[in-house]
Structure 1
């Protein structure tokens, strides 16, 4: 049987590079790997379903489940994971000296449904006494005017959400004090430039994130891998084949990262940082699958529902192809 030709749109990651380079292959699949920026992949997949397989925002994927049948089927492969305490910025004169001070403030976000922002709103509500409806949200382009939600959202009237002017950006409004804070996956340009008017809400991000993990055991999931529904329905075996290959690619990345003969990345203390990470989070700190990530997924799904993005509370098993949750026992 000839291999099935599939296109996989994904970021340029160490944990998927073996698939991109062809040193790991998915059984029965001839894979074309497209290295694309995440925003482009998400937009093109959500709006036009351009790729057979793609990396997708966890929040956008859960939003897509409201359609019956849903356009995608996910694998429990988490191409992006990241603690997000460092994603909160504030204006220096906004009177924000601790996270609790965000209550009653004007907080910008490129899109309300962004996974990073779902996580931070949930963490602020759970751990810092900042209910989701205690903040006024403003959406729009961070660095370029005119950004729109890639997926339409129908939110409760209890939330205060408005668009910024079409000719303005969130980054400029934060620097000018027109918004009090900004929640964003990408570092805003004024902060990069060292503008003293912009600082992080959590001044010691690493300490805050380590404390959060110690208290919760959660290493937030940002992105999953999805298969387009029509491909999955015709070739159910693709889910297991891709899942096995993505696991193998991740294992190869683990191995190469701990090669001390020469640094793989331009980080002087990469090896001790890796060893500290293993000590704190465990050897398989970037785990795939549901069981090892159940509490993390349940927390996110609860946040998604509580923030008005899900009509009902999903269970982790409902998100993923059954074939990716099973394995043969020898």
Structure 2
């Protein structure tokens, strides 16, 4: 019997390197891997065009496809190719009077791409849980970061009626608006150019973001999940066991990278251009544990459930979804 041909859309992560170069294969499949200009191109190609059989997909975008009920085209597996701590994702205009999270109440906040992108759901949830600042206390403007952009239109653009949400004016990007003081703050997965260029008008809400994020992990055990991996539902219906084989391949590729990082301690990670990387690796391992990039349900249940709670509280899902209903049933034992 010939192998199943699979097309896979995935960003070029270090933990996926072994999948791209063929060191790790999906059992019983001949897989072709493709990336994109930016990671959201992969999402759009999957949701709008069904371009791939298997694809990385923003977790919030996947959840919105589940709102289509029986028409939902994808099933997720508990693989999480992108994680990021997101206190770092909140920027403020230094003349806005915002010096602490509570000052965001009553302010106008920009958000990249849509209301409720992955890097927006986590900060909003954390601001609500830890500082008592909820989305309805602010006004929101949606757009591109350093260039004008309409909201993503390959997923529904939704927000609760209780939250004031508008689109950025034609011809304007949120980063320049933040620098000019036309908005007070910005939550975004992309770093605004005004910040990287050193504008005195733009700063992070948390200037000691790494310290705050490390404390957050110590307190919660959560290293926030941004993206998951989905498989076409019709393909799973006709190929029993495929979800497990894809899951196993992603785990194997991740393990190759984690072993490479561990082995790198022997020569102070001489293959990495960043100085002191070996010290950073040791600090991270001490805080996060030996496997800080876990796949599967058990190791990520609190993480996923928190995201599902935030999604519901922020008015982006009609009901409070549970962890066990959003992944392939055959992988609930992982």
In the alignment, structure 2 segments of 5+ residues that lack a partner are none
Alpha-carbon separation, structure 1, partners of 2:333 and 2:160 = 38
Quick one: which of 67, 73, 76 aligns to 2:75?
Answer: 73
Question: Counterpart in 1 of 2:32?
Answer: 32
Question: Counterpart in 2 of 1:47?
Answer: 48
Could you say what secondary structure the match of 1:145 adopts? coil
1:122 maps to 2:125 = yes
Could you say what secondary structure the match of 1:221 adopts? coil
Instruction: Tell me if structure 1 keeps the 8 A contact 2:78–2:297.
Output: yes
Q: How does 1:250-269 map to 2 (within 5 A)?
A: 250-258=254-262, 259-260=264-265, 261=267, 262-269=269-276
Alpha-carbon separation, structure 2, partners of 1:229 and 1:265 = 40
> What is the deviation of 1:132?
1.8
> What is the deviation of 1:156?
2.0
Instruction: Tell me if structure 2 keeps the 8 A contact 1:174–1:181.
Output: yes
Q: How does 1:100-249 map to 2 (within 5 A)?
A: 100-110=102-112, 111-149=114-152, 150-249=154-253
Question: Counterpart in 2 of 1:296?
Answer: 303
Runs (4 or more) in structure 1 with deviation over 3 Å come to: none
Q: What do the CA deviations read for 1:39-75 (whole angstroms, capped 9, x no partner)?
A: 1111222222211111110111111111122111111
Question: Counterpart in 1 of 2:286?
Answer: 279
Q: TM-score, normalised by structure 1?
A: 0.96
Q: What do the CA deviations read for 1:217-241 (whole angstroms, capped 9, x no partner)?
A: 1110011011112222221321000
Question: Counterpart in 2 of 1:56?
Answer: 57
In the alignment, structure 1 segments of 5+ residues that lack a partner are none
Range with bigger deviation, 118-127 or 265-274: 265-274
Could you say what secondary structure the match of 2:79 adopts? strand
Question: Counterpart in 1 of 2:318?
Answer: 311
CA RMSD of aligned residues (A): 1.2
Alpha-carbon separation, structure 2, partners of 1:46 and 1:128 = 35
Q: What do the CA deviations read for 1:187-211 (whole angstroms, capped 9, x no partner)?
A: 0010111111100000101111011
Alpha-carbon separation, structure 2, partners of 1:304 and 1:21 = 36
1:16 maps to 2:16 = yes
Q: TM-score, normalised by structure 2?
A: 0.95
Range with bigger deviation, 296-305 or 258-267: 258-267
> What is the deviation of 1:326?
3.8
Alpha-carbon separation, structure 2, partners of 1:276 and 1:158 = 43
Alpha-carbon separation, structure 1, partners of 2:240 and 2:59 = 22
Q: What do the CA deviations read for 1:145-195 (whole angstroms, capped 9, x no partner)?
A: 123234113332111100111211101101110000000011001011111
Q: What do the CA deviations read for 1:107-151 (whole angstroms, capped 9, x no partner)?
A: 000111201100000000000110121111100111221232341
Instruction: Tell me if structure 2 keeps the 8 A contact 1:108–1:170.
Output: yes
